[in-house]
Structure 1
Amino acid sequence: MSDFIKRPSRRALLSGLAVSPIAVAGIGSFTSSARAQAQAAGLISANVCMVMPEVTEGPYYLDEALLRSDITEGREGVPMRLRLQVVTAECAPVEGARVDVWHCDAAGNYSGYASQGSDGTNDTEGETFLRGTQMTGADGVAEFRSIYPGWYRGRTTHVHYKVFLDERTVLTSQIFFPDALSQYLFQSVPPYNDRSAERDTMNGNDGIAKQAGEGAYAAIREQYDFYDAALVVGIDPSATSAEGGMGAGGPPPGGERPDGPPPGGVGGPDQGGSAEVFIPGRTASE
């Protein structure tokens, strides 16, 4: 039998992914069959090639033209490899797209601004940590080395990004992460747990996360030295970004914290999970 008959078509693979639901309690996780389908279709994660909705840019974007893959600048935190694959709605990779990313550090601070953090007292003007730009390769992938982002009042854990084509912004959006993993890190792992305050906003009560939808959640996989966070970003190449709608006014408050423990199965001892959770790049004694 020929390979043409034995191998499913690209269209069939993509159709299968398009109808594969993301488990509500396991956003960021996909079945092995879904991952295999995605890999066969040339995708780095199993979220489908939908055109991503645009959400607010927020108040902390800086166009510093920092062409670099390592954006850490010595900031402490759990290492994370962040990969964004820019594709069209037909899952065709977009080569040569500019991708900008920026996010807060473990203490909730962005670089480059005064009055930082949930208490508004930290000044990071002139600093450029956790910001960077990469161009996508032939596979549509832009890759960054960073740390797992922290949190600040009114927002769930997230990373901002912009996609540019021909000096034109085609998409401004955000990437989100599993609540259970975030909660464990923030409660149990330094420097995230150095803070006395508890976060007030999770995915379920963050208005921007709701607007972005399930396709905006990164697929997270543990590696020995880092977390691998991957997202397929579907764009409309003919679109022009509205620069986020709410502009420099920033995101709205996330609302009240929901009752009860965080969802999912990566809780620490206080959440009924195992205390022996593997943290990439760290030994059990750290």
Structure 2
Amino acid sequence: MLLPRDCSSQVASSSLARRERRGHEKRTFETDVHALTCVVAPEVALGAAEDYTKPVRNGQLKVLASPLNCLCSKLLRQNLREDQRGSLTRPSGLQVTLDIGVVDVTTCEPMPNVMVEVWSPNALGTYGSTFLRGAFTSATNGVAEFQTIYPGRTSNGANHINLMIHTSDSMFGTVSHVGQVFFTDRWNEVVQMTSPYNQNTNPVILNSQDLNYATANSEGYNAVMDIQSIHDDWPEGVIAYITVGVNPQRKVEVPQ
């Protein structure tokens, strides 16, 4: 069996290329966090299929069913920003372009044609059946891009986005990774002062208080997204970069 390698230099080069493609410069709100993957990303618990409209429970380490296992064709998409009535509009919240790179940690090469599945709560911390959910295939550079919004905090979790990696271009392919990616406390604090996030009644939870955050950032992996604001002052939107290290030989059992 092939063992994971240190892919940090390759990930750094890929991350730089993705930023240069967008013509990005550093902005006022950008942090110094760089999402560099050196080992396989740790698995983090997901919500059960029959209960996926509720937040993930911290410390629940068993991998439960994906909410998209019965994915219909309308959810094979990059634009996740439908409203809670199912219309593809701009739901209330800070607009986010989510840039997810997938790297094979046994070769340090990008993984094209894998299915990347994501879902997250709305600004008030509520999950839904289709809104802010979807899946799409990674491009030749191993990147899958989505249009979503900055997620609100849930009743027992810091702001995060859930993801699952299938090592084929099908939702029925082998699942090699499930997990969560996070934002810095600094970004969460700034966003939570704005509408509609300031109407979220869930308690403020720092990353250090979220057990899933600790799991996701273990084993040398950095599960904190690198944020670039589109404009200098308060941004009209942001781009969130993350690179996920996957061992394609690894299989995660996800109940159907």
- Residue equivalent to 2:45: 56
Superposed CA RMSD in Å reads: 2.8
Structure with the bigger RCO (C-alpha within 8 Å, sep 6+) is 2
Counterpart of 2:121 in structure 1: which amino acid?
C
Secondary structure of 2:205 counterpart: coil
Secondary structure of 1:231 counterpart: strand
Describe the shift of the 1:100–1:15 C-alpha distance in structure 2 as closer, same or farther (beyond 3 A).
closer
Give structure 1 regions of 4+ aligned residues with deviation exceeding 4 angstroms: 13-18, 35-38, 40-46
2:102 aligned to 86, 92, 95, which one? 86
Inter-partner Cα distance in structure 2 for 1:92 and 1:16: 11
Inter-partner Cα distance in structure 2 for 1:181 and 1:79: 14
Which aligned pairs between 1:1-286 and structure 2 lie closer than 5 A? 38-39=15-16, 46-59=35-48, 60=52, 61-63=66-68, 64-65=71-72, 66-73=75-82, 74=89, 75-89=91-105, 90-112=107-129, 128-166=130-168, 167-186=173-192, 188-195=193-200, 197=201, 199-213=203-217, 215-224=222-231, 225-243=236-254
Counterpart of 2:179 in structure 1: which amino acid?
S
Inter-partner Cα distance in structure 2 for 1:37 and 1:101: 21
Q: Structure 1-normalised TM-score?
A: 0.63
Inter-partner Cα distance in structure 1 for 2:81 and 2:174: 27
How many residues align? The count is 200
- Residue equivalent to 1:5: none
Q: Deviations over 1:158-210 (max 9, x none)?
A: 10000001411111111110111111211x21111123x35242100110100
Instruction: Structure 1: give runs of 5+ residues left out of the alignment.
Output: 1-12, 19-34, 113-127, 248-286
The CA deviation at 1:58 is 1.9
Please say if residues 49 and 233 of structure 1, whose CA atoms lie closer than 8 Å, have aligned partners that are also in contact. no
Inter-partner Cα distance in structure 1 for 2:116 and 2:161: 12
Describe the shift of the 1:158–1:71 C-alpha distance in structure 2 as closer, same or farther (beyond 3 A).
same
- Which structure would you say has the larger Rg? 1
Identical columns (%)? 29
The CA deviation at 1:242 is 3.5
Inter-partner Cα distance in structure 1 for 2:152 and 2:95: 12
Please say if residues 17 and 48 of structure 1, whose CA atoms lie closer than 8 Å, have aligned partners that are also in contact. no
Describe the shift of the 1:40–1:228 C-alpha distance in structure 2 as closer, same or farther (beyond 3 A).
closer
Q: Structure 2-normalised TM-score?
A: 0.70
Inter-partner Cα distance in structure 2 for 1:43 and 1:180: 25
Instruction: Structure 2: give runs of 5+ residues left out of the alignment.
Output: 1-5, 22-33, 53-65, 83-88
The CA deviation at 1:49 is 3.7
Inter-partner Cα distance in structure 1 for 2:20 and 2:179: 19
Inter-partner Cα distance in structure 2 for 1:137 and 1:111: 27
- Residue equivalent to 2:60: none
